[in-house]
A and B are shown apart, each in its own frame.
Chain A
Amino acid sequence: MAKLVLSSGGSVVFQCFIDQERLGVGRDPTNQIVIDDPSVSREHAAIMAVGNDHILEDLASANGTFVNGTRMPRRILQHGDVVEFGAFNLRYLNAKTATDVELDRTMLIEGIAEAQAGLPADGEALPVPRTRATRINFPNGRVHMVSGPRAGTTIALDRVVAAFGKPGHRSAVLVRRPHGYFLAHVEGRRAPRVNGQPAGKEARRVNDGDVIEVADEKFQFAVD
């Protein structure tokens, strides 16, 4: 269960678990979290529980709501977030979401009826959560094109795959993985060549300085 800890001058003045759908924060005593500070509005902000999330919303307060030093009208609270209210800090703690690995199993929950009314059959894809993928380091590689239509250019290998050769006839890709780059044969009867030798059908790792030939393209691989 998520927890809120209110502190001032380094000492805790109030703490509570979030067990309600909505918590009000402000100077007014009707709020669930009352903050006695002249710079805090009477109804300053609210924290709403939606599924696993707690969403903080500024209620058009006079001085705004700051999360980790940045003014935000709204914030899906993340473990360790500090919300500033005048001289007070409200810290959000949620052990369940503390790790960047979300292992929660799929569960069924009631949907939001008005969102489903007049529902489009498709939509914009939702972004991959920011906490994922960013921790994994991918190598920085590039190829210098020696011959073929792109001769003389350098191509950065900064995406998951880069294609070479003649699409539709004979082609191969360089695949970027956390532990290096791999050459994979895509189409055509003749496999690509690495340092003059056929690369074979299986994906194979390429090393700094390797010279690769795919159809009429010849290039040298380099990695930091």
Chain B
Amino acid sequence: MLGIMARKFIEAAAATDLGNIRQYNEDSIAVDPELGVVAVADGMGGHRAGEVASAMAAQIVLAGLRQRLADLRSGADQHSPLLAVEESINQANLAIWGAARVDAGRIGMGTTLALALFHDNRIVIGHIGDSRVYRLRGGKLQLMTRDDSLLRDQVDAGIISVAEAGESHNRNLVTQALGVAEQVAAHVRQVDAMPGDIVLLCSDGLNDMVEDADIELILQELRANLPLAAQLLVQTAKDNGGYDNITAIVARVRKPFPAARGWQRRLLGWQH
């Protein structure tokens, strides 16, 4: 019954594409608007192991959150949604790491992950690697994640400027990924959500090809048609070169989504 309450508080659409050059699409997605979960994973590793790693990440994180959110929303578990995200990410990490260890062809496989959980008028953002989460609010695009990349580190350490980053060849070097070590330090935070907010999750094939100003314009002008927005983002990345796989998931907050408190839960339970 909470499913009914929660239904359609967000609307989501996704698009993914091989790009113009790569042979395989190593990006994977998870989209469950009723649960309030969207995620993108960008795999790495030879012999198509990247596809395996990203698909595992998307599936395991979604399954983990389904379980943990059911407990959380029924009141059986007092875990925080942040912990639910962190545990689900760690679960995916261990599974990928384990799979890589038992199969020689998959040694070194790993994946990025960017995830948004919409819960109780907030968005929990979980992230590792260089896939990104952006939020469009009031027509302004804001990056909500800090890339785990050498380039980001170089800029933050003052070694190079933001402007110089455009001249760097270090774009493909990530400093963290899921599945490459027994433990990872995923970044998990929460931000507030307001009706009208649009959240974009993307693999680097989008933001390496499309200027933020153009991403902002597409989201703003196409906010009434999310499937078209996702499709246009991917198409623009391809039109600009499409050197990598491209994935975009857009989710829009349609109305407030407070979690049912104890008395509401009891009332709803009694009604059914």
* Min CB–CB distance A112 → chain B (angstroms): 4
Q: Decide if B153 touches A160 in the complex (CB within 8 Å).
A: no
CA distance A108 to B228 in the complex (A): 34
Report the interface size for chain B: residues with CB under 8 A from the other chain.
Answer: 64
Name A102's contact: one of B143, B148, B171, B214 (CB within 8 Å).
B171
Asked whether A109 lies within 8 Å of B173 as measured between CB atoms, the reply is: yes
Interface residues of B in 186-235 (CB under 8 A from A): 187, 189, 204, 207-212, 214, 217-218, 221-222, 224-225, 228, 232, 235
- Chain A CB within 10 Å, residue with most, of B166, B173, B177: B173
Binary interface encoding of chain A residues 42-84 relative to chain B, with 1 for a CB under 8 A from any of its CBs, else 0: 0000000011110100000000000000000010101000000
CB distance from B92 to the nearest CB of A (A): 17
Choice from B164, B170, B175, B222 contacting A108 with Cβ under 8 Å? B175
Other-chain contact of A126, B148, B159, B165, B241 (Cβ < 8 Å): B165
Within 8 A of B (CB), among A67-119: 74, 76, 78, 96-97, 101-112, 114-116, 119
Q: B167 contacts which of A76, A114, A160 (Cβ < 8 Å)?
A: A76
Question: Which of chain B's residues 140-193 have a Cβ closer than 8 Å to chain A?
Answer: 142-148, 150-157, 159-160, 162-177, 180, 187, 189
- In the bound complex, what is the Cα–Cα distance between A161 and B211 (angstroms)? 13
Q: Is the CB of B168 within 8 A of A121?
A: no
Chain A residues closer than 8 Å to B144, beta-carbon distance: 121-122
B224–A168 CB distance below 8 A: yes
Chain A interface: which size bin? Answer: 35 or more
Q: What's the least CB distance linking B265 to chain A, in Å?
A: 32
The answer, yes or no, to whether A41 is at the interface (CB within 8 Å) is: no
Q: From residue B197, how far is it (CB to closest CB) to chain A in Å?
A: 15
* A127 is an interface residue with CB less than 8 A from chain B: yes
State in angstroms the CA–CA spacing of A109 and B180 once bound together. 11
Report the Cα distance A52→B149, complex, angstroms.
Answer: 13
Contacting residues, chain A, for B172 (C-beta < 8 A): 52, 102, 104-107
A125 at the interface (CB under 8 A from B): yes
**Interface check A120, CB cutoff 8 A:** yes
